[in-house]
Structure 1
Amino acid sequence: MTTALVIIDVQAGILNKPGERRPAVLERFDAVRARIAQLVDDARRANVPVIFVQHDGVPGHRLEVGTPGWEICGDLNRADGDAVVRKTAGDSFHDTNLQAVLAQQGAKHLVVVGLMTQYCVDTTCRRAVSLGYDVTLVADAHTTDDSGALTVEQIVAHHNTLLDGFDAGPAVISVRPAKDVIFAKSGEAA
């Protein structure tokens, strides 16, 4: 089964919202980006396709197209040949070419990382399974912001627990830490 690494919305302005932000939120964002960069390097060594999903915000949005906040973070080791799928909704498959890009790569298993846990990451994982893809959600390579009622740590832990084992027919989501994601040379993730 061919694997693809799918990186969702790791953009410069993703956590730029008015108001105070706990230092833990930004520290986690830094740590998640470092893990994603390592996964990108690992995927490349195994000839696994790397796909970036980039949210196109409307004018005035923190991810407004063409603004510095819209740019994919520069520390993720993106290469010129990586596919970039642009989206306008929380679901990375909704009105995008993601499924066509995955089909072109022959991908049947997705390793998913990125932002925002309770929105785009959750929705994309669920949709992928309903479309027949097996998904590995990397437990420590997705993040979000505090919600007011819950901290980032609570949101991430909740979604890791909630999504682990979520299935649709034979396709299933497995949640595992980055250290346990090994891309085999054949293009599969173990």
Structure 2
Amino acid sequence: MAIVRPGSRRVLLVVDVQVAVMKDGWEAPRVIANVAQAVERARAQGVPVLWVQHESEDMRYDSPGWQWVPELVPAAGEVRLFKKYTSSFEETPLELELGRLDASHIVLAGAQSNWCIRATAYGALDRGYDLTLVADAHTTDAIERGDGSVIEARAIVDDLNIAMTYVEYPGRKARAVAVGELAFD
């Protein structure tokens, strides 16, 4: 049986645009600017912005690398969530916050495309939310495979954008759109 959220509101979920995460991100300055543009649009339209920060052994809570990049600053009153797993839903109060906000549609931006963004996107769809991935507002870094080959970051970003364009779930919508085409209505 398909789960479809009954809410009527969109939210912008910004995931892991942190100093250490973005340090080697593909086209990080452009992506950060696009995330900032999505945040500005959401705020201007009264759309809630939720911020998710990852913590790990390499990126300890409140360390310099754990901080948001300087270009992005959560506003007073915006929800901040802290996670230790790739999906923003796992062992966080994200679903409670989405319920409190009457959210049924998540607009997603951040890093890293192949880990936390992918896991959060599929987690949202699995839980019955519609999803819009901001196609030019997520990034990752290249993956060096053990055989000497490399999966380029751009290919990873493109792959997720294509997946969110064509993935199908009953009663839910998924899509990828550029920040310039992003609408919150």
TM-score w.r.t. the length of structure 1 is 0.86
Q: Alpha carbon RMSD of aligned pairs, Å? A: 1.4
Amino acid at match of 2:178: P
Q: Contact 1:37–1:77 at 8 Å: present in 2 too?
A: no
Runs of at least 5 residues in structure 1 that lack an aligned partner in the other structure: none
CA distance in 1 between partners of 2:43 and 2:160 (Å): 28
Q: 1:129·1:167 contact (CA, 8 Å) conserved in 2? A: no
Aligned to 1:182: 183
Aligned counterparts of 1:45 and 1:105: Cα–Cα separation in 2: 17
Identity of counterpart residues, as a percentage?
Answer: 31
Please give the residue correspondences for 1:22-171 in structure 2 after superposition, counting only pairs within 5 Å. 25=25, 28-58=27-57, 61=58, 63-148=59-144, 149-171=150-172
> What secondary structure sits across from 2:156 in the alignment?
helix
Equivalent residue letter for 2:95: Q
Query: Whole-Å Cα distance in 2 between the matches of residues 125 and 110 of structure 1?
Result: 9
Structure 1 residue 113: Cα displacement: 0.3
When normalised by structure 2's length, the TM-score is 0.89
Q: Distance in 2 between matches of 1:156 and 1:115?
A: 10
- Please tell me the residue identity of whatever aligns with 1:158: D
Stretches (4+) displaced over 6 A: none
Report if aligned partners of 1:130, 1:171 keep a CA contact under 8 Å in 2: no
User: How far does the alpha carbon of each residue in 1:44-103 deviate from its partner, in whole angstroms, 9 at most, with x for none?
Assistant: 111000000100112xx0x21120100112212420211011110001100110001111
Cα distance in 2 for partners of 1:37, 1:117 equals: 17
Answer whether contact 2:22 2:111 (CA < 8 A) is retained.
no
3-state DSSP of counterpart to 1:31: helix
